Structure 1
Amino acid sequence: MSAAVTAPTSPVFLSPQSPVFSPTAAAKTSPSSPRLLLTPELTCQARRHYRSVSDHETSLKRKRPPRLDVGAAVTTAAAWNAAEAVEETPRAEDIAVDEDGYSVYCKRGKRGPMEDRYFALVDPKGAHIQGLFGVLDGHGGAKAAEYAAMNLDRNIKEGLEQCYGEEGWMERGIRVGYLRTDEEFLKQGVRGGTCCVTALISNDEVAVSNAGDCRAVVSRHGAAEPLTSDHHPSVENELKRIEALGGYVDCCNGVWRIQGTLAVSRGIGDRYLKQWVTAEPETKTLHIKPELEFLILASDGLWDKVTNQEAVDMVRPWCVGLENPKTLSACKKLAELSAERGCLDDISIIIVHLQRFVP
């Protein structure tokens, strides 16, 4: 979702041993390189990765209200206050991260600046979180995805601490995190929104949540099992919810949209459509048994062109039965397959080797 293409820049990575962001290392980084932000409070056991690849950013009705103006994709970097002056920033082509237990690959689409983001937090000795991963697919600019990448994991962590000891505390804590991030972002007064999919690993369990059409698929002995549902306005329960709130869903050029505008019905942000677009996540929790091999989290740039089973079949030879799984290569192969099939959108993929998180 974006504009013209510039020359690709080389990704910059911290080594797996780096516990915190180094200002010295940052000073050596080219200004055109994508930013990798690590919070200083993390220990050597907790490595947190953020990647910011660019700051650019139907049913029949009797009487339909006019379409809402949610704004075009922002192509310049702006402060959170939309009224402030903006300055164009460099764009990145691809992002690649390869760590023990997971890999990330983000490929910019052909529509303009990258609007996808991701985050990853690994803490093998964490009290409530051994791993927390997220893929964010922004629309109407990258600001919502950027904000969620920087704040959703923190809010989920605080939500878990708040709900610990209650029945269903993981699901409740994740819900608090999503809704709090949405509330905080809306206060910024910035347009745009983001779909989200997250995976929380805690005490031999994995809780997968989503709001929007980013998807999570797990391999169970080689069989693809979707763990999330895509939140589109045409889905029956979403359609009923939107109409009950006074909205309408219309088909525009073959795509069903809320108020003739937005093609997803859940997500963070989208303040002009907030009456109908909820950040309420759906969560599914599984015990990590030996048959659960790996988890794929990805934006719709992958799933629009690659089926769940095709994705699992392509990843499995790179991951299962190998002492050193090549999950980054698997991520790249998936992105290449989607692009070869005509995907113009950004493609972001995280593959998590689940057995690496089981003692």
Structure 2
Amino acid sequence: MSCSVAIASSSPVAFSPSRLPLSCKTSPETLSLTAHLYQSDGSPSGASCGTSSPFRHRFQRPASGLRPFSSPPPSVAVDSSGSPSGLMAESGGKVSALKRKRPARIDIPMGDVLCFGEPKKSDGRKEVEEEGERYSVYCKRGRKRLEMEDRFRAHVDHLGDSELAFFGIFDGHGGTNASEFASKNLGDHIIEEVRTRADECEIEEAVRFGYLKTDSEFLKEDAGGGTCCVTALLKNGNLIVSNAGDCRAVLSRSGMAEALTSDHRPSRKDERDRIESFGGYVECCRGTWRLQGSLAVSRGIGDAHLKQWVIPEPETSTISIKPECEFLILASDGLWDKVSNQEAVDIARPLCIDSADKQPSLLSACKKLADLSVTRGSLDDVSVMIIQLKNYARND
């Protein structure tokens, strides 16, 4: 580490370099610099101010902007860059220490003035709730969200058919365009396709067609964003559950939680293999596996910029609704990231089952689950829908 010592030109201080205290460690460069600055009698070397010296400009720099200390420090402090932090000068037979003045305060403009675009405004909706005869739904906006991106759809007694109903939760990302579009159109496309197919075995294919058609129509809108979906179609005593993304459906069967869907995330081996087979990649970003380092889900409606890997193809399962099938929970990942399947059933069940002393309250159960997720630190939108299944159960 090399050091340099600057001496004021007004009056050279006569002292031996051997007695010069330095705040840095001695090195060969320090010794050669000291020998260059002083002669054997302790006086400054004339070569130090010559044109051949590389320190000529440093030593000839005027001591401007300096102010004296009331008492000199015992040594010349040298910083790590090789420049002295203070200068020694003699005035009236006394040695004083000079220190640079503090630079003037910089006036930095306020951050809200530096606006590079129209700031995004909140839509004002913090909570949405709806209570029907056979279902209830509650949506709560995330604490750090400017707008609620989740949407839902509940369509019971379609065309007067008490055994035909459609329910869905739609978890939007990148805005509300996709979730809003899917909530308005997906159920209609599915029911329309189901009514045109007489064979009950083709219901799952009808649901698949509804998902693909909704995605195709949304892409034509040339709107950004995407949405995850979980839907439940009830027809003639059957429950057909589908999902694309990480929204989930959980059934309470005599108090036991039964997951009817599997989350579509890049961390799933089959999803990762599919993505990589089409030239994409999956990486872990801050503890979350993401597609192309961006999206945390691998299926959904929309996401045009990632459409090569984000497919709308749903996974569908069909079960027969028996008397032991008590209720169905459809919810976004805002709930499932903080609450387990069985825990959700255990909390909701006392509020969803008929008892001698009280009537069931599905809405209270939805709110309780959403509030639990928030208290556990969820910052995402939380949407919970609970569907009572006893009215759709088969008696045979």
TM-score normalised per structure 1: 0.73
SS state at 1:168 partner: helix
Report Cα offsets for 1:279-324 as digits up to 9, x if no partner.
0000111100011100000000000000000000001001113473
Cα distance 1:177–1:124, how it changes in 2: closer, same or farther (>3 A)?
Answer: closer
1:155 to partner: Cα distance: 0.9
Of 290, 295, 298, which residue of structure 1 is paired with 2:331? Answer: 298
- Equivalent residue number for residue 108 of structure 1: 141
2:293 corresponds in structure 1 to: 260
Quote the sequence identity (%): 56
Of 377, 380, 386, the residue aligned with 1:345 is: 380
The CA deviation at 1:276 is 0.3
Change (3 A) 1:245 1:75: farther
After superposing on structure 2, the runs of 4+ consecutive aligned residues of structure 1 that deviate more than 6 Å are none
1:83-162 residue pairs with structure 2 within 5 A? Answer: 90-112=123-145, 113-123=147-157, 126=160, 130-162=164-196
RMSD: 1.8
Aligned to 2:38: none
Give the SS at the match of 2:180.
helix
TM-fit CA distance, 1:355: 0.5
**1:312-351 alignment to 2 at 5 Å?**
312-322=345-355, 324-351=359-386
Following superposition, the deviation at residue 356 of structure 1 comes to 2.1
1:239 paired with 2:272, answer yes
Name the CA shift for 1:318/1:128 in 2 (closer, same or farther; >3 Å): closer
Equivalent AA in structure 1 for residue 292 of structure 2: Q
Query: Where does residue 70 of structure 1 map in the other structure?
Result: none
- Once the two structures are TM-superposed, the CA of residue 111 in structure 1 deviates from its matched residue by 2.1
Q: Report SS of the residue matched to 2:323.
A: coil
Distance 2:316 2:178 in 1: 21
SS of 2:167's equivalent in the other structure is strand
- 1:181–1:92 Cα change, 3 Å: same
Q: Distance in 2 between matches of 1:150 and 1:182?
A: 12
1:213 to 225, 231, 246: 246
Other-structure match for 1:18: none
Count of residue pairs brought into register by the alignment: 274
Q: 1:127: Cα distance to partner? A: 5.2
The amino acid across from 1:134 in the alignment is G
Q: Which moved more, 1:123-132 or 1:190-199?
A: 123-132
| Structure 2, unpaired ranges of 5+ | 1-117
In 2, are the aligned partners of 1:129 and 1:200 still within 8 Å (CA)? no
Per-residue deviation, residues 46-99 of structure 1 (Å, max 9, x unmatched)? xxxxxxxxxxxxxxxxxxxxxxxxxxxx976xxxxxxxxxxx673211111111
Using the size of structure 2 for normalisation, the TM-score is: 0.67
Q: Which amino acid aligns with 1:142?
A: T
Distance 1:75 1:224 in 2: 43
In the alignment, what sits opposite 2:45? none
CA distance change for structure 1 residues 99 and 259 in 2, over 3 Å: closer, same or farther?
Answer: same
Selected match of 1:289 from 303, 322, 347: 322
1:84-129: CA deviations, max 9, x gaps? Answer: xxxx673211111111110010001112210000000000775596
What are the superposed Cα offsets for residues 248-281 of structure 1, whole Å, 9 maximum, x if unpaired?
A: 1111111111111101000000000000000000
1:247 match: secondary structure: coil
Whether contact under 8 Å (2:156, 2:162) holds in the other structure is: no
